[in-house]
Amino acid sequence: KAFLHHTVHLSCYFPNSQKIDAKNLIIFWQKDTNNPKVVHEVYYGQEKHDNLSPEYLNRTKVDMDKWTLQLLNAGVEDEGHYQCIILQKISEQSTELIHTSECSLHIIANYSQPEIAELHSGELKPNGYLNLSCSSSGGYPEPKEMTWLISYENITHSSTAHMDVSQDAVTKLYNVTSKLNIPVPTNSHTNISCLLHLREQLGSLVSVPLGI
């Protein structure tokens, strides 16, 4: 997992127990197996750019001591499956595959703190309805769900609400909104909060409570 716009470290997990000189190796990282894209290539000790996918040009650095690749400014489109492949030179004409390793990259972008807005106009009447929305924006991946918490006199009711989800066409980040329409609470002081449940064991975000 890596945060949006941060640097990702992709390891080859290559022990190099035989202490082979990089001048006798071809090392390359590729993304996705169905339609592979070359992310970085070190050809007998020299970095080679001929075969690189254009989106990775000037975005990678290699650390040959640790056998890791740094991918700069990670974006949502960098999510996917990566493979490190190492070939050893056997003769002038031939090479032998000596190591492969794989990893999957997941991008995380922080959602804004959920915010409650009052959609009704005018004063609340005892027999009227409370019309609220809760919104959070700029996050990734798509969240799991949004719930509303209604608390009074040490009792809390929780209800999962329909969540409208939209994805920005350019940034690929998600914005979410949920609405709550309930009779105006007639109990003593009532607090209403909304809770955004994130995926990938990322926990949840809670709004500032609205007091009625």
Q: Which two tokens stand for residue 124?
A: 């609340």
138-191 per-position pLDDT tens digit: 999 999 999 999 998 888 889 888 999 999 999 899 999 999 998 887 767 889
Separation of alpha carbons 3 and 5, rounded Å: 6
54-87 per-position pLDDT tens digit: 999 999 999 888 889 999 999 999 999 999 999 9
Q: What pTM was computed for the model?
A: 0.82
Q: Is 124 helix (H, G, I), strand (E, B) or coil?
A: coil
Identify whether the C-beta of residue 148 lies closer than 8 Å to the C-beta of residue 155: no
CATH no. of 112-211 = 2.60.40.10
Same fold flag, 2-108 and 112-211: yes
Identify whether the C-beta of residue 168 lies closer than 8 Å to the C-beta of residue 175: yes
Q: Which residues, 6 or more positions from 186, have their beta carbon under 8 angstroms from its beta carbon?
A: 126
Q: Is 27 helix (H, G, I), strand (E, B) or coil?
A: strand
Separation of alpha carbons 85 and 97, rounded Å: 8
* CATH entry 2.60.40.10 includes domain 2-108: yes
The domains of the chain are located at 2-108, 112-211
194-204 per-position pLDDT tens digit: 999 998 778 99
Parallel/antiparallel/unpaired status of strands 145-152 and 191-197: antiparallel
